[in-house]
Amino acid sequence: MIENRPWLTFASHATLLTGIALVALPVWMALVASTHPASAFGVGHIPLWFGDAGAETWGTVLFEKAGNGVDTPVWFMMLNSLIMALGITFGKIAISLLSAYAIVFFRFPFRNLCFWIIFMTLMLPVEVRIVPTYEVVANLDLLNSYTGLTLPLIASATATFLFRQCFLSIPGELVEAARIDGAGPWRFFFDILLPLSRTNIAALFVILFIYGWNQYLWPLLITTDDAYYTLVMSIKRMLSVTDGDIAWNQIMATTLLAMLPPVAVVIGMQKLFVKGLVDSEK
Amino acid sequence: MTDVILEKVGKTYPNGYHAIPSVDLSIEEGEFIVLVGPSGCGKSTLLRMVAGLESISTGELRIRGERMNEKEPAERDIAMVFQNYALYPHMSVYDNMAYGLKNRGMAKKMIEEKVSDVAAMLGLTELLQRKPRQLSGGQRQRVAMGRAMVRDPKVFLFDEPLSNLDAKLRVQMRVEIRQLQRKLGTTTLYVTHDQVEAMTLADRLVVLNKGKAEQIGTPMDLYNKPATPFVAAFIGSPSMNLVDANLTEQGIHLSETLTLPLSHQHRGDIVWGIRPEHLEVSDERNADFALRIQAVESLGAETLIHGKIETEFGNGEPMVVRLSGPHLPEVNSLMWLTAPMSHWHLFDAKTQQRL
Q: Residue A26 pairs with which residues in a beta bridge?
A: none
Question: So where are chain B's domains?
Answer: 2-234, 241-348
* Distance separating alpha carbons of residues B157 and B47, to the nearest angstrom: 7
pLDDT band at B256 (very low <50, low <70, confident <90, very high): confident
> What residue in A sits closest to B79 (Cα-Cα)?
A180
Do B86 and A187 make contact, defined as CB atoms within 8 angstroms? no
Residues of A in contact with B132 (CB under 8 A): none
pLDDT of residue B35: 93
Q: DSSP string spanning B87-153?
A: --TTS-HHHHHHHHHHHTT--HHHHHHHHHHHHHHHT-GGGTTS-GGGS-HHHHHHHHHHHHHHT--
Side-chain half-sphere CA neighbours of B309 within 13 A: 23
Q: What is the spatial distance between Cα A96 and Cα A105, in angstroms, rounded to a whole number?
A: 14
Where would I find the beta strands (DSSP E) of chain B?
Answer: 2-12, 18-28, 32-36, 58-63, 66-67, 78-81, 155-159, 187-192, 204-209, 212-217, 241-247, 251-253, 259-261, 268-274, 280-281, 289-298, 302-309, 318-324, 334-338, 345-348
SS3 of residue B190 by DSSP: strand
Chain B CB contacts of A198 below 8 Å: 90
Q: Residue A87's pLDDT band (boundaries 50, 70, 90)?
A: very high
What is the C-alpha to C-alpha distance for residues A121 and B61, in angstroms, rounded to an integer?
A: 47
Question: How is residue B205 annotated by DSSP?
Answer: E
Considering only the beta carbons, identify the residue of A171, A179, A192 that sits closest to B74: A179
Q: Count of CB atoms within 10 A of residue B315's CB?
A: 11
CA distance readout (Å), B60 to A215, B6, B174, B189, B278 = 60, 6, 31, 17, 42
Q: What phi-psi label fits residue B153: left (phi over 0), alpha (psi between -120 and 50 degrees) or beta? A: beta
Dihedral in degrees, nearest 10, Cα atoms A148, A153, A155, A159 = -150
pLDDT over 90 percentage in chain B: 42
Q: What is the pLDDT of residue B217?
A: 92
Kindly report the length of chain B.
Answer: 355
Q: Determine if residue B255 is left, alpha or beta; phi over 0 gives left, psi from -120 to 50 gives alpha, anything else beta.
A: beta
Give the pLDDT score at A66: 65
B53 touches chain A (CB under 8 A): yes
C-alpha to C-alpha distance for B167 and B170, rounded to whole angstroms: 5
- Test A182 with B51 for CB contact under 8 angstroms: no
- Per residue in B20-60, pLDDT (tens digit) is 888 899 999 999 999 998 888 888 999 999 999 999 999 99
Give residue B322's identity as a one-letter amino acid code.
R
The Cα of B278 is separated from the nearest Cα of chain A by a number of Å equal to 44
Mind listing the domains of chain A with CATH numbers? 74-278 (1.10.3720.10)
The pLDDT confidence band at residue B240, using thresholds 50, 70 and 90, is: very high
Q: What's the pLDDT score for residue A43?
A: 65
What's the pLDDT at A2? 64
Whether the per-residue pLDDT at A166 is higher than 60: the answer is: yes
Rg (CA), chain A: 24
| Helical segments of B12-107, H only | 43-51, 93-103
In 3D space, the residue among A81, B8, A243 whose CA is nearest the CA of residue A72 turns out to be: A81
For the domain made up of B2-234, give the CATH fold: Rossmann fold (3.40.50)
The C-alpha atoms of residue B38 and residue A74 are separated, in whole angstroms, by 72
For chain A, first and last CA: distance in Å? Answer: 31
Higher pLDDT, B113 or B284: B113
- What are phi and psi for residue A169, nearest 5 degrees? -85, -5
User: Does A282 have pLDDT greater than 50?
Assistant: no
Measure the CA–CA gap between B25 and B28, rounded to whole angstroms: 10
Which residues 56-75 on chain B approach chain A with CB closer than 8 angstroms?
A: 72-74
Q: What is the number of CB-based contacts under 8 A between chain A and chain B?
A: 61
Q: What is the mean pLDDT of the segment spanning B148-161? A: 91
Give me the amino acid identity at B215.
Q
Place B223 in a pLDDT band, splitting at 50, 70 and 90: very high
Which pLDDT score, from 0 to 100, does residue A156 have?
82
- Identify the band that residue B322 occupies on the pLDDT scale cut at 50, 70 and 90: very high
Question: Would the pLDDT of B314 be above 80?
Answer: no
CB contact under 8 A, A182 and B100: yes
Q: Mean pLDDT over residues B230-240, rounded?
A: 89
Task: List the beta bridge partners of residue B4.
Answer: B27, B63
B104 interface with A at CB cutoff 8 Å: yes
Q: Which residue of A has its CA nearest to B50?
A: A180
Taking the C-alpha atoms of residue B243 and residue B273, their distance in angstroms, rounded to an integer, is 6
Cross-strand bridge partners of residue B253: B246, B259
Distances (CA, A) of B199 to B29, B34, B54, B206, B223: 20, 8, 27, 11, 9
Q: pLDDT digit string (tens) for A112-149?
A: 899 999 888 888 888 888 899 899 988 988 888 888 88
pLDDT at residue A244, as a whole number? 65
Of the candidates A180, A192, A282, which has its C-beta nearest B80's C-beta? A180
CB-CB contact of B308 with B254 (8 Å) = no
- At a CB cut-off of 8 Å and minimum separation 6, what does B48 contact? B54, B159
What gap in Å lies between CA B263 and CA B322, rounded to an integer?
A: 28
The mean pLDDT of chain B is 89
Query: How much is the pLDDT for A44?
Result: 65
Interface probe with B: pick from A105, A166, A181, most Cβ of B within 10 Å: A181
* Nearest alpha carbon to residue B293 among B330, B324, B242, B339: B330
Give the pLDDT mean for A155-170. 89
Does pLDDT of A277 surpass 80?
A: no
**CATH number at B241-348:** 2.40.50.140
Give dist(CA A93, CA A73) in Å, integer: 31
3-state SS, residue B34: strand
Chain B positions touching A173 (Cβ under 8 A) are 82-84, 86
pLDDT digits (tens, 9 = 90+) for B106-148: 899 999 999 999 999 888 999 999 999 999 888 999 999 999 9
Evaluate if residue A228 carries a pLDDT over 60: yes
> Does the pLDDT at position A62 exceed 80?
no
Whether the pLDDT of residue A243 is over 70: the answer is: no
**Residue A1, pLDDT above cutoff 70:** no
The Cα of B243 is separated from the nearest Cα of chain A by a number of Å equal to 43
Q: What is the mean pLDDT of chain A?
A: 84
At B283, is the secondary structure helix, strand, or coil?
coil
**Most confidently modeled of A33-37, A230-234, B298-302?**
B298-302
Between A228 and B208, residue with greater pLDDT: B208
Q: A180 vs B51: CB contact, 8 Å cut-off?
A: yes
